Chain A
Amino acid sequence: MSDPLRAQLKQLIVRTLKLDDLQPEDIGDDDPLIGSGLNLDSIDALELVVTLEKEFGIKISSSEESRAALASVAHLADFVRSRAPADRVPA
């Protein structure tokens, strides 16, 4: 069964970064987000952080922490689940 949070995160990535040539379902759960594959860079990562903070009410305080959280969609989902209030995260 697909993870609704991972699906939501993929939509958020495509929308926030204006990846017009990509469908959310094309992003693999374990694909590296930064660097290879999607060709996103550190500025994209930080832009995502702003959206994530607003969407889920979480706080990412340093560039090092954001890099670790954004290793992949799977990593990011775990990070959001560990930080966000339960009512901000799909079951």
Chain B
Amino acid sequence: MLHRHIVALRTDAPGAEDLAATRERLRDAFPRNATRRMTQLGLLLGGVLHDLAPTENDTVVYASVYGETRALEDYLTSFPTPSPTLFQTSIHPSGIQQVLIARQQPIRHFFPHTGQRHLVAHAVQSALLSPSPRTLLCGGEERGTWLLEHDAASGDTFAFALALSSDSANALGSLRLEQTTAAESALEAELRLPRFFSALAQREPLSHAVAPGLILTLSWN
């Protein structure tokens, strides 16, 4: 069984807030002039990571299904004269890189995951396997526009960051992952990122198969 204590949690779900409003709301989380090229997902990630203060000794695990959707959309429509900025920004894991580059914060171990049905399961496993004293598990999505019309983007905008530790001091809760061969761990077992975000944001406990052979337990103190 893999287990860590949740020692900090930040979430942000700005609803219909647009990029300019998010930039204005979160501007104090960034050095001056750092947000000019940042995406909404990057800004939100910067906001939830701001006072968690990532350090080089942390492991950072990042999870996003669609990544920088609007940069991807705009890059695709910039052809036949493709934009170098949008190309750069559209490449996973740009969102979290925008934040760490703005902070000029090196990270030794950085694991950016993507996926869909089992993204949470595998990102959590990656985080719980880390030997670092602290692991930051973060992620999110930004709502798409024309790609959303074709089910190739998220319909929601949100971001989260969890600080995980082996030390139980000041723990808010815990995250466990167990292997199982039980029958309920069927092929359809899954936990998608929006559902995981919702459980975090509402401090909702979870305990069920999240991928074939893996049971996740999220509990709160």
Proximity string of chain A (64-91) to chain B, C-beta cutoff 8 Å, 1 when within and 0 when not = 0000000000000000000000000000
| CA of A44 to CA of B33, assembled, Å | 13
Question: Which of B33, B37, B84, B88 lies in contact with A50, CB distance below 8 A?
Answer: B84
In residues 59-83 of chain B, which contact A (Cβ within 8 Å)?
81-83
| CA of A17 to CA of B37, assembled, Å | 9
Q: How many A-B residue pairs have CB under 8 A?
A: 21
A19 neighbours in B (Cβ, 8 Å)? 36
Any A CB within 8 A of the CB of B104: no
A18 neighbours in B (Cβ, 8 Å)? 36
B88 neighbours in A (Cβ, 8 Å)? 43
**Chain A interface mostly:** helix
Pair B85/A47 contact, Cβ less than 8 Å: yes
B37 neighbours in A (Cβ, 8 Å)? 43
Pair A43/B84 contact, Cβ less than 8 Å: yes
| CA of A43 to CA of B84, assembled, Å | 7
| CA of A54 to CA of B36, assembled, Å | 23
| CA of A19 to CA of B84, assembled, Å | 17
A50 neighbours in B (Cβ, 8 Å)? 81-84
| CA of A18 to CA of B37, assembled, Å | 9
How far, in Å, is B71 (CB) from chain A's closest CB? Answer: 12
Any B CB within 8 A of the CB of A58: no
| CA of A54 to CA of B83, assembled, Å | 12
How far, in Å, is A17 (CB) from chain B's closest CB? Answer: 8
Among residues of A, the one whose C-beta sits closest to the C-beta of B37 is: A43
Question: Which of A17, A46, A54 lies in contact with B81, CB distance below 8 A?
Answer: A54
In residues 1-49 of chain A, which contact B (Cβ within 8 Å)?
17-19, 39, 43-44, 46-47, 49
Pair B84/A46 contact, Cβ less than 8 Å: yes
Closest 4 CB pairs of A and B: A46-B84, A47-B85, A43-B85, A50-B81
Having A43-B88, A47-B85, one finds 4 other A-B pairs with CB under 8 Å, namely A17-B36, A18-B36, A49-B84, A53-B81
